[in-house]
């Protein structure tokens, strides 16, 4: 995308046939990162004997563990003397901010669609953003070797999506390729020889427009990403809109408020494969990483010192969920983390704002609390998990939706479009569970083989905690995804369907005898030997009310029985919950305590006396 300015209009535009800038976009798990693996390997950027593994671009630990792309990244490959800059974007709606900030570096996009699933909610989101920026699309029907592939139907659904979203006639004139990303093959027709990805390379060169740029105009670049290393400091990453840049050059930095400061570029680095290489000059159309600007932020403009003109800043969609992050106040505070003070927590959260463009952080009601807003539960839980691994200790509240008031002063809330793929035998239980959550059925299709796709409009707060229930109701035989649709008038109270909690009554260590008694009342979350404290949630009651239990209670010795006779007691294995499951589980009067070693559930008020007093206040 070219930024039209008066200076650029006066300068001579040059077509750079030696470069192509393309973004790869798709719904989560449609094979995008695997396809990028194939492009990197077949472009021969690695040594013949180099071990590079799989999911090369998912370099982050959490990305590999979760099997999703979280951060947008760019790489570059050379094909027949043409540099192809590839921007790999996340597929999950919660990381839409990553997509929005990097798409403006591209001139074209490759839209991946699963041959069985077809266009999904995130497919619509990423395609809409790409077409708004006038990127030239290439469509790839991926995973055509799946037994349940329905290629012709998926092409029709994709074409319908383009008809709905296209903003110009050129968007409807797109090539369609067929691929098996895992095998590293792409074909012009499904029955063609399955050889390599050369058809895709050729289509990129032919379809993605070469950038037309003003090389002799004054320098201008929008910062769309940041990186950091201990040796060279902060990298400001972006595409040069016009002009050229060389190392050791004085430039102007224009922040979001329009303030101009003088900065010096130390190094200019270009991409080749997974590496950054120093170059003596970069010109308009190149994607580069610049060092030396320690206080650069995403959305700021770097420009010629004599022509400090700002580019339009990146527009990012507003967050929909918020959580309260606070200093850990449990009796175990400070035992397991390196960073546990409010000053350290505040510094880390505000530092995250530099790179996490769709995040918002505000000071809370007390100096020890911070309100953090994001795109969804996954977006916020990835941040919590990252901080946990860095050594931070904190407590977080249940996610809440962010409401707005319309022009008439009426309260509105976010609503999402939910798509569920599952077996038709689970239709009844899902309909019942979603009706309680104020969901409205909008579409349902059945493939005749027992598989159904059901679509709902559901308030965002109705989705909080639903993922766990969904996996239970469908016995793991289903997939769900959602996308923010807009804001609607407040839909009324949603009653919690969760049973009460089993709450520990005292500080100590859980023992088999105490847990055995607790398991008569419900399901437990901890094992014998686990340290507990008063107010810690140790299980789920079989009744709606909370129940205080003593899991530290040992069997008393008598002259007939010894205290070790309970070794023979058989306990039901505990339910161990992940961070996301914990956030889904808790109610408004509960918190998740997060430390580098443990994730614990607890009551907001730890003692029975405090909880009783708060209940009486609420009832008054």
- Report how far apart, in Å, the C-alpha atoms of 326 and of each of 180, 443, 608 are: 46, 41, 22
SS (H, E, C) 403-469: CEECCCCCEEEEEEEEEEEEEHHHHHHHHHHHHHCCCEEEEEEECCCCEEEEEEEEEHHHHCCHHHH
* Residue 475 annotated in ligand binding: no
**What is d(CA 418, CA 464) in angstroms, rounded to the nearest whole number?**
13
Nearest to 302 by CA among 211, 357, 239: 239
* Residue 30 annotated in ligand binding: yes
C-beta of residue 103 within 8 angstroms of C-beta of residue 131: no
* Residue 32 annotated in ligand binding: yes
Which two tokens mark 346? 């505040």
What backbone phi and psi angles, to 5 degrees, belong to 163? -60, -35
List, in sequence order, every residue forming a beta bridge with 142; answer none if it has no partner: 114, 179
Cα dihedral 219→222→228→229 (10° resolution):
-20
Burial of 412 (0-12, 13-18, 19+ CB in 10 A): middle
The DSSP 8-state label assigned to residue 544 in this structure reads S
* Residue 33 annotated in ligand binding: yes
**What is d(CA 35, CA 101) in angstroms, rounded to the nearest whole number?**
22
List, in sequence order, every residue forming a beta bridge with 252; answer none if it has no partner: 262, 303
* Residue 265 annotated in ligand binding: no
DSSP labels, 135-152? PEEEEEEE-TTSTT--HH
* Residue 238 annotated in ligand binding: no
* Residue 49 annotated in ligand binding: no
* Residue 29 annotated in ligand binding: yes
- Report how far apart, in Å, the C-alpha atoms of 107 and of each of 6, 91, 211, 405 are: 21, 19, 7, 38
What backbone phi and psi angles, to 5 degrees, belong to 182? -65, -35
* Residue 609 annotated in ligand binding: no
List, in sequence order, every residue forming a beta bridge with 237; answer none if it has no partner: 225, 289
The DSSP 8-state label assigned to residue 563 in this structure reads G
**What is d(CA 545, CA 567) in angstroms, rounded to the nearest whole number?**
31
**What is d(CA 487, CA 461) in angstroms, rounded to the nearest whole number?**
12
Which two tokens mark 563? 């205290």
Which two tokens mark 587? 């109610």
* Residue 75 annotated in ligand binding: no
Nearest to 205 by CA among 320, 387, 83: 83
Angle at 146 (CA atoms; ends 140, 151), nearest 5 degrees: 45
The dihedral built from the CA positions of residue 161, 162, 163 and 165, taken in this order, carries a sign that is positive
Nearest to 532 by CA among 559, 566, 508: 508
C-beta of residue 497 within 8 angstroms of C-beta of residue 469: yes
**What is d(CA 100, CA 239) in angstroms, rounded to the nearest whole number?**
14
Nearest to 591 by CA among 340, 334, 370, 325: 325
Residues at the annotated binding site? 29-34, 142-145
Detail the residues annotated as belonging to a binding site for GTP: 29-34, 142-145
């Amino acid at each position: 995308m070219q930024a039209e300015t008066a200076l650029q209009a006066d300068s001579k535009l040059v077509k750079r046939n030696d470069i192509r800038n393309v973004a790869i976009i798709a719904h989560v798990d449609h094979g995008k990162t695997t396809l990028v693996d194939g492009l990197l390997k077949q472009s021969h950027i690695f040594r013949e004997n180099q071990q590079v593994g799989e999911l090369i671009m998912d370099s982050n630990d959490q990305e590999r563990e979760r099997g999703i792309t979280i951060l947008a990244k760019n790489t570059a490959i050379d094909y027949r003397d043409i540099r192809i800059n590839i921007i790999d974007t996340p597929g999950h709606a919660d990381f839409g901010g990553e997509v929005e900030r990097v798409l403006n570096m591209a001139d074209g996009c490759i839209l991946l669609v699963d041959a069985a699933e077809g266009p999904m909610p995130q497919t619509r989101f990423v395609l809409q953003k790409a077409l708004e920026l006038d990127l030239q699309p290439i469509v790839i029907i991926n995973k055509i070797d799946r037994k349940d592939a329905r290629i012709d139907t998926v092409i029709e659904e994709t074409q319908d999506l383009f008809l709905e979203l296209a903003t110009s006639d050129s968007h409807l004139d797109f090539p369609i390729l067929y691929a098996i990303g895992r095998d590293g093959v792409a074909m012009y027709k499904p029955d063609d020889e399955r050889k390599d990805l050369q058809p895709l390379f050729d289509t990129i060169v032919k379809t993605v427009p070469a950038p037309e740029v003003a090389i002799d105009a004054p320098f201008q670049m929008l910062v769309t990403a940041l990186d950091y290393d201990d040796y060279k400091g902060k990298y400001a990453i972006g595409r040069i809109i016009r002009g050229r840049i060389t190392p050791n050059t004085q430039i102007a930095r224009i922040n979001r408020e329009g303030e101009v400061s003088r900065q010096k570029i130390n190094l200019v680095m270009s991409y080749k494969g997974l590496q950054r290489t120093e170059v003596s000059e970069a010109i308009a159309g190149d994607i580069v990483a610049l060092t030396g600007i320690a206080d650069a932020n995403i959305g700021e403009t770097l420009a010629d010192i004599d022509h400090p003109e700002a580019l339009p800043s990146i527009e990012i969609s507003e967050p929909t969920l918020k959580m309260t992050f606070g200093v850990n106040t449990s009796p175990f505070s400070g035992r397991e983390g390196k960073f546990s003070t409010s000053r350290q927590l505040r510094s880390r959260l505000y530092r995250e704002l530099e790179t996490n463009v769709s995040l918002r952080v505000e000071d809370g009601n007390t100096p020890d609390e911070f309100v953090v807003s994001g795109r969804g539960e996954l977006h916020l839980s990835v941040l919590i998990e990252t901080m946990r691994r860095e050594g931070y200790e904190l407590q977080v509240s249940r996610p809440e939706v962010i409401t707005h008031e319309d022009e008439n002063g009426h309260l509105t809330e976010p609503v999402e479009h939910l798509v569920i793929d599952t077996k038709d035998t689970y239709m009844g239980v899902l309909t019942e569970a979603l009706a309680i959550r104020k969901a409205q059925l909008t579409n349902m299709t059945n493939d005749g083989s027992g598989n159904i796709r059901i679509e709902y409009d559901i308030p965002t707060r109705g989705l909080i905690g639903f993922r766990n229930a969904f996996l239970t109701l469908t016995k793991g035989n289903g997939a769900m995804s959602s996308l923010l649709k807009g804001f609607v008038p407040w839909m009324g109270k949603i009653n919690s369907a969760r049973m009460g909690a089993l709450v520990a009554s005292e500080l100590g260590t859980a023992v088999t005898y105490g847990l055995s008694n607790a398991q008569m009342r419900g399901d437990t979350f901890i094992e014998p030997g686990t340290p507990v404290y008063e107010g810690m949630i140790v299980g789920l009651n079989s009744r709606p009310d909370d129940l205080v239990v003593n899991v530290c209670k040992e069997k008393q010795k008598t002259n007939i029985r010894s205290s070790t006779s309970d070794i023979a007691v058989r306990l039901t294995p505990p339910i161990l919950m992940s961070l996301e499951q914990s956030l889904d589980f808790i109610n408004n009067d509960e918190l998740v305590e997060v430390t580098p070693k443990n994730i614990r559930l607890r009551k907001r008020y730890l003692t029975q006396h405090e909880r009783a007093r708060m209940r009486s206040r609420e009832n008054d």
